[in-house]
A and B are shown apart, each in its own frame.
Chain A
């Protein structure tokens, strides 16, 4: 069983919708990450939060907006997405920035 929980598991949305992805961990990890994974490709880093502060933004379009309300929770707010944004979105966490990352099972997002 994964210790990083992501909800929802599946999400279908139109290009004008606003939705949010949620990630939760209770391992006391202080670094949290969002990745995007297209089919048959490795994950691509989007954002890194360390101690609830945004540390890395890999030049992600502003239609993706991350939020870290507390040390256990990470959100990804979605607005005006494009069909090419359809992918598996993975959340990960690590004890600190230099420790192995633990991944959730992801949210499979489809944009109509």
Chain B
């Protein structure tokens, strides 16, 4: 069966520090991968998605970037965090046109 791992579960970072969140998927090949963010009191916003290694599409301009160095690995990064980057970050996967399966999320607090 397929599983998705996302870490860390919580993270507190100072403003201006770098960020790296990692997500891996097991049990499937060539999944579509996604990064979503839920800001406090708001819905889920798609940040990035990837249909293959090295292929990243950005949905909104922001202080973040994503990379897919391996088929089942998706990384969310920032060189310098802003206060507005605080939120609950979710990694998700799907096969083509099928529903999303989410990871357990990372609560990021930028202070």
A binds B: no
Interface residues of B (CB under 8 A from A): none
- A residues with a Cβ closer than 8 A to B are none
